[in-house]
Amino acid sequence: MKLTRNFERLHKIVDSFPNVTVTVVGDMVADEFIFGEISRVSREAPVLILKHRDRTVVPGGGGNAVYNLADLGVNVLPVGVVGADEPGKLLLQCFRRKHIPITGIQKLKGYPTVTKTRILAGMTHTSRQQVVRVDREPENILDDRTEREIAIAAREYARASDALLISDYGYGAATPDILRTIGKLNGIPVTLDSRYRMLEYVGVTAATPNEPEVEEALKVRIGNDEEKLHWAANELMRQMKLQSLIITRGRDGMLATERKHKPLPIPIFGDDQVVDVTGAGDTVIATFTAALAAGATTEEAALLANYAGGIVVMKRGTATASRAELSAAIDKDSRSNLRRIDQ
């Protein structure tokens, strides 16, 4: 299967994003970044003392997929849970600032919002490097009532949507049981990003795992073996009964597979010297889902997702790709393609 690019068609898909609605059922995570300048070495222990300079909290996990869809101009309806705590409050404030509806997000007392705190250090006028990450997670799974309310809200939203995105980071707000409870959805695409149990989501439309997740699911080592990579893609398609699949491969780009077609390798867009891969998978599935919802083919959706992934890995921290940036990426690739033809 040969990679083809209809740049005019890709622009039309991106331009149609504001007419698309996507429901996201996912684990809402608070990504906290604490920045400090290196002051001195502590006398108490052989560690650096950082002078606090800044703190930001942005949506991560399923919340980052929501944020990416919003920045692409898509009408997004999030469903999930946060705690009645500061990180949960800050997440909801982030959504409100982008005019994202929050009625589908439950606020639970006694439930700690999943929070991933990254401590970054640097000198004045130098780049900041992550030195440690601290994760705060709920100890208990969500109760049956909460899961049922998630499913009810998701079913209601999805019936008025063009696609359903499942973002399962393993914290309980997005599970195979919840998807089964949601039931049939009138043929809209259902896309999946599941960190630990994607093989349990049999019958979803599409999935976007990264290569290590594929290796873990199938208990196989892929490495640079193209034949094994293609086997793994076809095996996931078979086991999960998928219509399409993207395997993201870092600086090796991605592999797109569609039912009854050979796997299609897509080279990385932009510079392979990435700055930060935090949240790039959320950007990929958000863009891929938006494109499918807008009527794109698997190849078209994969190309757009590849552009978006290439954009965000050149940004620091949990980032998004905007609709304007995506359009600019299409133009850049179009110019590069013309140069290749001229040569």
Sign of CA dihedral 232, 234, 239, 243: positive
Q: How far is Cα 157 from Cα 176, in angstroms, rounded to an integer? A: 18
Q: Which candidate, 215, 207, 208, 213, places its Cα nearest to that of 242?
A: 207
How many other CB atoms are there within 10 angstroms of residue 226's CB atom? Answer: 12
Q: What is the DSSP letter of 317?
A: S
- The number of C-alpha atoms within 13 Å of 282 and in the hemisphere containing its C-beta is 33
Residues in the chain: 343
Percent of the chain's residues with pLDDT above 90: 75
- Both tokens assigned to 48: 């650096």
**Residues with a known catalytic role:** 282
Where helices occur in the chain by DSSP H, the ranges are 7-15, 62-71, 86-97, 144-158, 176-182, 211-218, 226-240, 280-293, 298-312, 323-342
Q: What is the pLDDT of residue 288?
A: 97
- Average pLDDT, integer, range 288-300: 96
**Residue 278 scores a pLDDT above 80:** no
Sign of CA dihedral 167, 169, 171, 177: positive
**Residue 1 scores a pLDDT above 70:** no
Q: What is the pLDDT of residue 140?
A: 85
DSSP, collapsed to helix, strand or coil, labels residue 33 as strand
Q: What is the pLDDT of residue 269?
A: 84
**Residue 272 scores a pLDDT above 90:** no
Q: How far is Cα 173 from Cα 83, in angstroms, rounded to an integer? A: 12
DSSP, collapsed to helix, strand or coil, labels residue 224 as coil
Strands 244-248 vs 206-207: parallel, antiparallel or unpaired:
parallel
Give the pLDDT band of residue 179 (cuts 50, 70, 90): very high
Helix (H) or strand (E) holding 57: strand 48-61
Cα–chain center distance at 2:
26
One of 3.30.70.260, 3.30.365.10, 3.40.50.1820, 3.40.1190.20 is the CATH number of 7-338, namely: 3.40.1190.20
- Both tokens assigned to 272: 């392979």
**Residue 343 scores a pLDDT above 70:** no
Q: What is the pLDDT of residue 256?
A: 95
Q: How far is Cα 46 from Cα 325, in angstroms, rounded to an integer? A: 44
Dump pLDDT digits (tens) for 140-174. 889 999 999 999 999 999 999 999 999 999 999 99
Q: What is the pLDDT of residue 333?
A: 87
44 burial (CB, 10 Å; 0-12 / 13-18 / 19+) is exposed
Q: What is the pLDDT of residue 273?
A: 60
Query: Among 11-20, 109-118, 263-272, 292-301, which stretch is predicted with the lowest mean pLDDT?
Result: 263-272
Percent of the chain's residues with pLDDT above 70: 95
Find out whether 257 and 234 touch, Cβ atoms under 8 Å: yes
Give the pLDDT band of residue 315 (cuts 50, 70, 90): confident
Find out whether 94 and 320 touch, Cβ atoms under 8 Å: no
Q: How far is Cα 31 from Cα 209, in angstroms, rounded to an integer? A: 21
∠ Cα 192 194 198 (to 5°): 85
